[in-house]
């Protein structure tokens, strides 16, 4: 980067998306998806799906998070320090740890007997907190208006639950439990409507919060990342799943082609992963030194 | 209480990069790592062009976003207002780096990087690595030359007044554009200058209350 450009133009954050930062994007996605799967599966008492959620969260989410750290061997310091009082990363690790520990106890106990509703309620609370912590961690960053909005955690809750419900539906259909599948699909319809409403509200509200927010939205929707947004997030991530939802609503879940259903589930997950990528990628800082005439184009960091 | 702070006079700064270089020299900073930077830009259109020079460094904010973001308490604010990083506690999550709205932190990754690639470390670099054993995989930033301040105070010197106890960038500035001192002491030069010349902070809207002010 030219010294002249450095911090006099909008600067995209890079540490959480470039080089090893890509691992954090994957970590947030899999942790929230895994917790979402477990949360949704618990309502349908689907042990297989709960186990899948637990594994996605622990192995993929936790693994990517662990590898992302500059000093992975010191991760225990996050739990033992008093950082949880102010830091969302610290709170998040505590939520994830408690969710995974209690979730494992539940899964082991259910092998022999019913572990009880009370334990499951507690686990679901921690699963829910696991889903939201990433959104709150990003929401704290007031230098990046695209993240510093209360709608971001809400969007992550809805997308985490939607992704979880989609996977649970896939597992349910694969095991031939159509009646449970119909109930899950009703949840997916509601969550998908919420998701479709939230995305434009989130983008529009950020667009009008500040000049930097407007630049972030332009960068995502009209700039370098526009094709990815419209092609992957909107077409693949929203239109294909919506087509599947309409199709199964009209024809019934049992007559909807299974291949179409799985394609829609996969598309939905790809769309969710992509919008999370774009939110990280298009997070712009305001110029440190505002100099007129030099702010139109984000600089590569 | 003491609250160390700095005023940078933009009218006096000539953009010579002395602060940037002296900082690198003082802390033996590896290639590509800067704790002090000089941003130079142009404002307006010909013929009404205005050259702007802004030296920037960690603002040692009173309400530092990085301190609250740190999950291990590796980043803390000392009683004298200096925001420091304990490299032994840092896990390298880079949350502080993201949270800093002034983008003044660096994630140190390449510990093997040499100033003269392929020619091995210079004697200067070797000494630096012994004196300042920086840890790869951790975040670093300006520490207001806290080691100079602490050593100076132990000797009975006054930071901001005595050169030995004053940050390297301040004493290196050939135009005395930088003034360092105790913001809580109404009689210090930094407080007087702040009062008389109405110093401003960068991006006060973030609510972090930077301890670095600009005048001119």
What's the ipTM?
0.90
The long-range contacts involving B148-151, CB below 8 angstroms and separated by at least 24 positions, are B148/B26, B149/B4, B149/B80, B149/B82
pLDDT tens, position by position, A181-236: 888 888 999 999 999 999 999 999 999 999 999 999 999 999 999 999 999 999 99
Q: Phi/psi class of residue A19: alpha, beta or left (left: φ > 0; alpha: ψ in -120 to 50)? A: left
With beta carbons under 8 A apart, name residues in chain A contacting B45.
293
Q: Are A93 and A78 in contact (CB under 8 A)?
A: yes
Read off the pLDDT band of A114 (50, 70, 90).
Answer: confident
- The tens digit of pLDDT for each residue in A115-137 reads 678 899 999 999 999 999 999 99
Q: Do B94 and A16 touch (CB under 8 A)?
A: yes
Nearest to B193 by CA among B159, B164, B168, B160: B160
- B21, A8, A138, A208 alpha-carbon torsion, rounded to 10°: 170
Total tally of structural domains belonging to chain B: 1
* Integer Cα distance of A62 and A41 in angstroms: 20
Strands (E), chain A: 11-12, 284-285
Question: What is the DSSP code (8-state) at residue B174?
Answer: T
Closest CA in chain A for residue B65 = A141
Separation of alpha carbons A89 and A92, rounded Å: 5
Domain boundaries, chain A: 11-285
Give the Cα separation of A278 and A17 in Å (integer). 9
Distance between alpha carbon B89 and the CA centroid of its chain, in Å? 21
Among partner residues A86, A89, A291, which is closest to B52 by beta-carbon distance? Answer: A291
- Residues in a beta bridge with B51: B42
- β-sheet bridge partners, residue A21: none
Question: Per-residue b/e over A261-288, b at no fewer than 16 CB within 10 Å?
Answer: bbbbbebbbebbbbbbbbbbbbbbbbbb
Parent domain of B16 = 4-215
Report the 10 Å Cβ neighbour count for A182. 15
Taking phi over 0 as left and psi of -120 to 50 as alpha, with beta for the rest, B121 belongs to beta
Distance CA A8, CA A146 (A): 19
CA distances B149 to B7, B132, B159, B189, B193, Å, are 17, 16, 6, 17, 21
B98·A142 Cβ contact <8 A: no
What are the tens digits of pLDDT across the range A261-288?
899 999 999 999 999 999 999 999 988 8
C-alpha torsion angle, residues A172, A177, A182, A186 (rounded to 10): -30
A81 contacts B71? CB cut-off 8 A? yes
CATH number of the domain at B203, please.
3.30.70.20
The chain A residue lying nearest B208, using CA atoms, is A142
Contact A166/A268 with Cβ under 8 angstroms? yes
State the nearest Cα–Cα gap between B118 and chain A, in angstroms. Answer: 24
Q: Measured between CB atoms, does B38 come within 8 Å of chain A?
A: yes
Residues 6+ apart with CB under 8 A from A134: A28, A31, A32, A92, A156
Q: How confident is the model at residue A295 (pLDDT cuts 50, 70, 90)?
A: very low
Chain A residues in contact with chain B using a Cβ-Cβ cutoff of 8 Å: 3-4, 6-8, 11, 13, 15-16, 21, 68-72, 74-75, 77-78, 81-84, 86-90, 93, 137, 140-144, 285-286, 288-289, 291-294
Most B CBs within 10 Å, among A25, A71, A210, to test the B interface: A71
Distance, CA of B62 to CA of B60 (rounded, Å)? 7
Residues of A in contact with B56 (CB under 8 A): 7, 288-289
List, in sequence order, every residue forming a beta bridge with B56; answer none if it has no partner.
Answer: B37
Inter-chain Cβ pairs, chain A and chain B, closer than 8 A: 136
CA distances from B173 to A199, B15, B22 (A): 50, 10, 9
Q: Which residues of B touch A97 (CB under 8 A)?
A: none
Answer yes or no: CATH 1.20.1630.10 is held by domain A11-285: yes
Q: Determine the residue among A1, A74, A92, A147 to mutate to test chain B binding: the one whose Cβ has the most chain B Cβ atoms within 10 Å.
A: A74
Residue A301: band (very low, low, confident or very high) from pLDDT cuts 50, 70, 90? very low
pLDDT tens digit string along B30-84?
998 999 999 887 777 888 888 888 899 999 999 999 999 999 999 999 999 999 9
Q: How far is CA A113 from the centre of its chain?
A: 33
Pairing of the two strands B138-140 and A284-285: unpaired
């Amino acid at each position: 980067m030219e010294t002249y450009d450095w911090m006099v133009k909008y600067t995209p954050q890079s540490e959480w998306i470039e080089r090893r930062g890509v691992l954090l994007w994957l970590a947030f996605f899999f942790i929230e998806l895994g917790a979402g799967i477990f949360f949704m599966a618990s309502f349908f008492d689907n042990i297989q799906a709960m186990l899948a959620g637990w594994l996605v969260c622990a192995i993929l989410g936790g693994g990517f998070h662990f590898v992302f750290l500059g000093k992975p061997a010191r991760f225990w310091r996050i739990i033992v320090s008093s950082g949880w009082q102010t830091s969302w990363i610290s709170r998040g690790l505590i939520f994830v740890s408690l969710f995974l520990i209690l979730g494992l106890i539940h899964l082991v106990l259910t092998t022999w007997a019913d572990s009880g509703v009370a334990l499951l309620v507690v686990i679901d609370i921690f699963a829910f907190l696991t889903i939201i912590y990433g959104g709150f961690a990003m929401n704290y960053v007031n230098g990046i208006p695209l993240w510093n909005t209360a709608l971001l955690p809400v969007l992550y809750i809805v997308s985490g639950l939607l992704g979880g419900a989609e996977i649970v539906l896939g597992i349910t259909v694969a095991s031939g439990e159509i009646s449970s599948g119909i109930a899950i699909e009703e949840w997916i319809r509601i969550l998908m409507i919420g998701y479709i409403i939230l995305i434009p509200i989130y983008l529009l509200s950020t667009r009008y919060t500040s000049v930097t927010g407007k630049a972030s939205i332009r960068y995502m929707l009209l700039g370098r990342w526009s094709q990815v947004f419209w092609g992957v997030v909107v077409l693949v991530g929203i239109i294909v799943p919506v087509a599947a939802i309409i199709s199964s609503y009209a024809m019934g879940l049992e007559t909807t082609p299974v291949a179409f259903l799985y394609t829609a589930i996969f598309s939905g997950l790809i769309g969710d992963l992509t919008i999370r990528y774009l939110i990280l990628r298009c997070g712009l800082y305001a110029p440190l030194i505002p100099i007129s005439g030099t702010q139109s184009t984000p600089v590569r960091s | 209480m003491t609250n160390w702070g700095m005023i940078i006079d933009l009218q006096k700064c000539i953009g010579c990069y002395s602060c940037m270089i002296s900082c690198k020299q003082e802390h033996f900073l590896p290639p590509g790592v800067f704790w002090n930077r000089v941003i130079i830009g142009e404002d307006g259109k010909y013929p009404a062009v205005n050259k702007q020079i802004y030296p920037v460094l960690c603002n040692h904010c009173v309400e530092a976003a990085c301190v609250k973001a740190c999950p291990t308490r590796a980043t803390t604010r000392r009683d004298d207002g200096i925001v420091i990083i304990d490299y032994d506690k840092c896990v390298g999550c880079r949350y502080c780096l993201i949270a800093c709205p002034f983008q003044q932190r660096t994630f140190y990754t390449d510990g093997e990087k040499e100033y003269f690639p392929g020619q091995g470390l210079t004697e200067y670099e070797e000494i630096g690595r012994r004196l300042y054993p920086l840890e790869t995989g951790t975040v670093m930033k300006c520490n207001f030359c806290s080691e100079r301040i602490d050593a100076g105070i132990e000797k009975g010197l006054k930071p901001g007044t005595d050169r030995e106890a004053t940050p390297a960038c301040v004493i290196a500035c050939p135009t005395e554009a930088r003034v360092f001192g105790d913001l809580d002491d109404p009689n210090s030069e930094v407080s007087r200058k702040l009062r008389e010349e109405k110093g401003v902070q960068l991006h006060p809207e973030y609510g972090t209350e930077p301890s670095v002010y600009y005048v001119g």
